[in-house]
Amino acid sequence: MSSYTIANERDTARIAEALAPSLRGGLVIGLSGDLGAGKTTFVRYLIAAAGGDTRAVSSPTYTLQHEYPLPNGLTVEHWDLYRLTVLPQELEESPSLKIVRLIEWPERCPELLPYLNCHMRLSHGSDEGETTDRVLEITGDSGGELTSRLDAMKGRA
């Protein structure tokens, strides 16, 4: 597991910018964290960093799924499983090579967890004083491409 501190939204944007070049068709990324931890905000910055239109990016809690086309021909499927206890049929199959799946609350359907290429957990950091840091933990990064990009970004900070 790799861990990164997010002090503000600019850090979220920098992390998204570092990860955007790694988006490829067939990739499935889980996004976990408490309400308000920054999952949808991260998705918005990731779509922006990949050249997509962020005006439509919002939490798909009630609609279950949104799609965001990217200029490179990929489509990002943004799922929110918060209200579910049964895996949607659409997620039972691997995505095509033109689809990137970002799935908020994947732990709501635990049978999905083994199929994640990467699992990102956002949590609130210390509440001491005025610190409102968040922590991003990444597990299951097969090949280490995402974490190596973030480690390189840390080195440039």
Q: What is the pLDDT of residues 68-126, one digit of tens each?
A: 999 999 999 999 999 998 999 999 999 999 999 999 999 999 999 999 999 999 998 76
Task: List the beta strands (DSSP E) in the chain.
Answer: 2-6, 28-32, 65-69, 75-80, 99-104, 118-124, 134-139
Determine the distance from the C-alpha atom of residue 110 to the mean position of all C-alpha atoms in its chain, rounded to a whole number.
17
**Structural domains counted in the chain:** 1
Q: Domain with 27 in it: what CATH number? A: 3.40.50.300
With contact defined as beta carbons under 8 Å apart, do 104 and 81 qualify?
yes
pTM metric for this prediction: 0.87
* Residues contacting residue 55 through CB under 8 Å, at least 6 positions apart: none
| pLDDT confidence of residue 128 | 56
DSSP class of 86:
S
Q: What per-residue confidence (pLDDT) applies to 144?
A: 73
Q: How far is CA 6 from CA 20, 35, 37, 68, in A?
A: 17, 16, 11, 25
| Residue 1, pLDDT above cutoff 90 | no
Residue range 119-148, pLDDT digits in tens: 999 998 765 545 568 898 888 866 677 777
Per-residue model confidence (pLDDT) at position 127: 56
Phi, psi of 40 (to 5 degrees): -70, -35
The mean per-residue pLDDT over the stretch 48-63 comes to 90
* Residue ranges making up the domain that contains 136: 2-156
Phi-psi domain of 26 (left: phi exceeds 0; alpha: psi -120 through 50; beta: other): left
Distance CA 155, CA 157 (A): 6
